[in-house]
Chain A
Amino acid sequence: MDAHAALIQPFVEFGFMRRALVACLALSLGGAPVGVLLVLRRMSLVGDALSHAILPGAAIGFMVAGLSLAAMSLGGFIAGLVVAVLSGFVARVTPQREDASFAAFYLVSLATGVLIVSAHGSNVDLMHVLFGTTLAVDDAALLLVVSVATLTLFTLAIIGRGLIVECFDPGFLRAVGGPGAVVHFVFLTLVVVNLVAGFHALGTLMAVGLMMLPAAAARFWAGEVATLVAVSSAVAFACGYAGLLLSYHADLPSGPAIILVAGGVYMASLVVGPHGGLWARFIPRRHLEA
C-alpha cells in the first residue's frame, strides 16, 4: 500500500470521510482558541463539566424528537447554557470559585438527565450522544459544525482583547470599566456551542478532548496567545486527520481514535516541547553569559 492509498485515497473514495474531515477542520478552527483560553483561565476542567451538563439536554431532545439534530442540539445548548450561566453568576457574585460552582451545577444537571432517561425506559440510544459517530456526520450536522466555527471566530475577533484581559487581570478590567461580565458570559456561551457542535461528530465526552488536548499540548510549544491558538488549531486538525485515517484503516471508532491521537501529541509535547517540556528540564544546556 503506497502513501497515496494510505493517506489520501480514503477521502477521495468516500463522501463520509470527506465530511468527517471537514467537520474536524471546523472543530479545530472554532474549538482550539476556546480551549486555549480555557487553559489560560485555568478552567480546563470546566469544558469537561459542561460536556456532562449538555448530556441531559441532548437526551431530552432525543426522547422528544428522536435522533433529530435540531432537537438534540437545542436541548444540549439550553442545558449547557443554564449550567454555565448559573455557575458563572455564582462565581461573580459570591466568594465561591468557578470550579466549585461548576461542579455543583453540572452534577445537578447530570443527575437530572440520568433520572429522566431512566424514568422513560432505557431504549434511548445514549451511545450516540455519549460517543458520537464522526463517520455519520450528515450535511445538516456539517452545516451546524461549520456555522459554529464561523460564529466562534467572529465572536472571538470582537471580544478577544477583553477576554484576554479578563483572563490576565480581571481586577484591572473592572477598574477601567471594561465589560468583564459580558465578555465572561459570551465566552462561556462559546464553550457551550462548541461542545454542542462537537458532540454530533465526537460525542459529548469526546468533543471536549479535541478542544482541550491540543490547547494543553500547545502550551509546551508557544509563549504567546496568538501562537498558542495557531499551534493548537494546527494540532487539532492534524489529530483529526490522523485519527480518521487510524479509525479507517484499523476499523476503530473514530471519536476515541481522534482523541487518542491528540493524547499522543500531548504526551510527545510534554516530553520534547521547548516551553517547559521534560526534555529541557532533565537535559539542561549550558547557561548563557547574561
Chain B
Amino acid sequence: MTVAFALHDLTLGYDRHPAVHHLTGSFATGSLTAVVGPNGSGKSTLLKGLVGRLAPLDGRVERNGLRQSDIAYLPQQAGIDRSFPISVMDTVLLGCWRTIGLFRRVRRVQRRQAEEALMAVGLDGFGQRPIATLSAGQFQRVLFARMLLQDCPVILLDEPFTAIDAKTSADLLRVVMGWHGEGRTIVSVLHDLDQVRENFPDTLLIAREPVAWGATAEALRPAHLLKVRQMSEQWDDRAEVCRRGVA
C-alpha cells in the first residue's frame, strides 16, 4: 500500500496553542477519508497542515513526492472575491493553470474540458454568466468544476457541503465518488454523519486529539462519539509547555 500523506506525531496550531495535537497515521493513496469532529476540533487546521499552508508546531507531514500543484485544496472560506467581474467559464478554466500558466493560450481542448466539467456539476450553459450572479450553491459547483480541470491526484475538501442544499450536495458528492473511482486520494471534512457512513470508507474522528482513525463503522462507534462530545473547547492562556514525546 502506498501512502499519500504520512503524519508523524504532528502538532499543528496557532500561537503555540495546539489545534491538532500529536497526530500519527497515514492517508493511503486512493483512500477516501472523512474527517469528523466538533467545531474547533482542528479539522480545518489539519487540512491546512496537509496542504502545507500551516507549518507544524511539532512533528512532520511527509508528502511522499507530492508537489504543491498535485494537491487540489478547497478551503472552507476561500478568500474569493465573488463580486469580481469574471465569467464562470474563465473561473473554471483557471483549473488548467498547470498547463496554461501565466502566458500560454487556452486551447479549444481545454475549453471543451471546461464545458464538460460544467456539465458534470450541473451548470450546463452557465459559462458566460458573471460569477456575481450565482448563488452560494451554484458557486460551489463552479469551484468543483475548476477542481475537475485541475485533475489532481490528491483532493482536500473543507466542509464542501455546508450551507448547500440537498440536491447540490448530492450532485457534488457524486463528483467526489467519481474521483474516488478514478483512484484519487480524497480527504474531506464533513459534518453529516449519515452521509459519512454511507459514502466514506475511512474516517478520522478528531477532537483536537485524535480519537479514532480507521474504517468508518469502527471509528464512529457511540463510545468514540461520546468521547468527542466531552472535548474541552477552551483555549487555556496559562497552558503549560507540552512535555509529551520529550525525553
Contacts and interface: CB of A to CB of B under 8 A. Distances in A.
Same complex: yes
Interface of A: 40, 42, 158-159, 161-162, 164-165, 167-179, 222-225, 228
Contacts, number: 63
Interface in B63-95: 67-69, 71-73, 75, 78-81, 84-87, 91, 94
B109 interface: no
Contact of A165 (B51, B72, B94): B94
Given A169-B78, A175-B51, A176-B69, 17 more contacts: A40-B81, A42-B81, A162-B102, A164-B86, A167-B84, A168-B81, A168-B91, A170-B79, A171-B80, A172-B80, A174-B53, A175-B72, A175-B73, A177-B68, A223-B85, A224-B87, A225-B86
B103 A158 contact: yes
Interface of B: 51, 53, 67-69, 71-73, 75, 78-81, 84-87, 91, 94, 97-98, 101-103, 130, 146, 150
Nearest to A161: B102
Contacts of A175: 51, 68, 71-73
A167 B150 CA distance: 20
A176 B97 contact: yes
B59 to A, nearest CB: 23
A132 to B, nearest CB: 32
A51 B81 CA distance: 26
Contact of A228 (B69, B85, B98): B85
B101 to A, nearest CB: 8
A159 B94 contact: no
B111 to A, nearest CB: 16
A172 B78 contact: yes
A168 B78 CA distance: 11
Nearest to B69: A177
Contacts of B86: 164, 168, 224-225
B133 to A, nearest CB: 10
Contact of B80 (A168, A177, A179, A222): A168
Given A161-B102, A165-B94, A175-B51, A40 B85 contact: yes
